[in-house]
Amino acid sequence: MLNSVEKLRKQPLALWLHGFLSSHAAPYPLKISTIHRLSGSGAQTFRDFKYRLRKGLVALVAIGAIDSFVVDGDSLKIKKTPSPSQQRHLDSK
């Protein structure tokens, strides 16, 4: 059986998002243009990038890496359950 990262192997943006979001205990809203810049995407157009981004986010929901996401204009809000160590960090604040 494939683990979650292996399921993303053919989706480079989804794989990048998985790594990026796994390092965030409580992701804050981000601009899609910022994600585009940070990810180093080779998408030809911004519209193509948004399509790939949605597809990658759906893949992350499917493997349970994130709970949900909302795209509102150029803003992306992600909801995820923190890992036990991330939850301890959040509780200590």
In this prediction, residue 6 carries a pLDDT of: 76
User: For the domain 10-91, what is the CATH code?
Assistant: 3.30.1370
Pick the residue with more confidence: 55 or 90? Answer: 55
Q: Where are the domains of the chain?
A: 10-91
Give 32-75 pLDDT, tens digit per residue: 999 999 999 988 899 999 999 999 999 999 998 899 999 998 99
Q: Report the alpha-carbon angle 86-58-65, nearest 5.
A: 20
Instruction: With a cut of 80, say whether residue 4 has pLDDT above it.
Output: no
